[in-house]
Amino acid sequence: MHFYTNLLLFESLTTSSMTYFKLIKIDAISSTNDFLKESYNNGKCSDGDLVLAKHQTSGRGQRDNIWISSPGNSLTFSVYKIFEHLTSANTFFISASVSVCLVRALEDIGIPDVSIKWPNDILSANKKIGGILIENFLKKNKLKASIIGIGLNINEFYNENLPFAGSLEMVSGLKRDPEAVFNILKPKLEIALFSLNLISKNKSIKEYSQLLWRRNKLSSFETKDFNFKGILKDVTESGNLILEDIMGVRLELGSHEVRMKYETND
C-alpha cells in the first residue's frame, strides 16, 4: 500500500505543477539547517518545509567544516522531511538518493564530469562544487525526520589557496542565477524525497556507487593515525566504504573512521 501511494504521488508530481515543498525565503541567515533545527525543537516544523537563503553566513559541512560562500553567488537551502517507514539503518539511503538527484540535475544543465566524492561532496572535473549535510532525528531505531541541507557554488571564484574548490561558472564558463538553478533542481528533489521508498533502495545505492569519484582508482585515504593508499570499490547499504589496499586486502570503513583525500592524479 505504501509503494502504491508513493507511485501515485510520483505521477502527480511529474504530471502537474503542484508542489509539496513549503518555501520560506530568507535574505540572510547563519545556517538554513540550524533555522529548521530550531523550528523543529520549538515544534514548528512541517513536512516539506524548505528554507532558501540568499546568503548563509555560517554554513556548515561534514565534520564541522565551514561552508564558505558570498552573497548572491551560491545556492543554499534546507528541507525538513518526515519519514514514517524508515529505520536508523536506512539513513544512508536518503543521502544516496539526494546525491544522485543533484548529480542528474547538474548534468541536465550542462555541468561536465559530475561525480560524488564519498560520502556527500559533489564534484565537477575534480573540483568541489557542492555538498550535502543531513541531520537525522531518531527515536530508538526509528527515523522520525531529517533536515537535508544542500549547498552549491554557483558563481564563486576561488584562488590557488583552495585548489580543489570550484563553482558552476568555473567549470562551465557560464554565469547562472542561483534561483534559476534552484527552480530546476527543486522539482527533481521533490520527486526524489516524496516518492522515496525501500523498494528503490538497492537501485539508488547502486547508482550512487557508480557515480563515485575515483572509483576503481588508486587513491589516498587518511585515518586518525595514518595515511594509506587504496582502491575505492563500492559502498555498503549503511554507507561504509569498501576499499582494497595495495596488498589486495578488502576493508570496510565508515565516514567516522576514514577520510578520502582530494587529488587529481590517476
Do 229 and 202 share a structural domain?
no
C-alpha span between 126 and 178 (Å, rounded): 22
State in Å, rounded, how far the first CA of the chain is from the last one. Answer: 48
Looking at the fold, whether 61 and 135 belong to one and the same domain comes out as yes
Does residue 148 share a domain with residue 76?
yes
Note the pLDDT of residue 7.
38
Q: What is the pLDDT at residue 68?
A: 60
> Phi-psi region for residue 189, left (φ > 0), alpha (ψ -120 to 50) or beta?
alpha
Which residue(s) pair with 241 in the sheet?
235, 253
Cell 533545527 belongs to residue? 37
- Strands of 212-258 (E only): list them: 218-222, 227-235, 241-245, 250-253
What is the pLDDT at residue 59? 56
> Could you tell me if residue 85 is inside a domain?
yes
Structural domain containing residue 138: 2-210
For residue 151, is it within any domain? yes
Domain end point (choices 189, 210, 231): 210
CATH value at residue 95: 3.30.930.10
CATH, residue 256: 2.30.30
Same domain, 6 and 47: yes
Residues 47 and 106 both lie in one domain: yes
What pTM was computed for the model?
0.88
Sorted by sequence, the CB contacts under 8 Å of residue 20 that are 6+ apart come out as 9, 13, 48, 190, 194
Both 138 and 230 in one domain: the answer is no
10-residue mean pLDDT profile of the chain (266 residues): values are 39 50 93 95 95 80 56 92 90 96 97 97 96 94 95 90 92 96 95 87 95 97 95 96 95 95 77
| Claim to verify: residue 158 and residue 253 sit in the same structural domain | no
- The total number of structural domains that make up the chain: 2
Q: What is the pLDDT of residue 158?
A: 87
Question: For position 237, what pLDDT does the model report?
Answer: 94
pLDDT at 160: 79
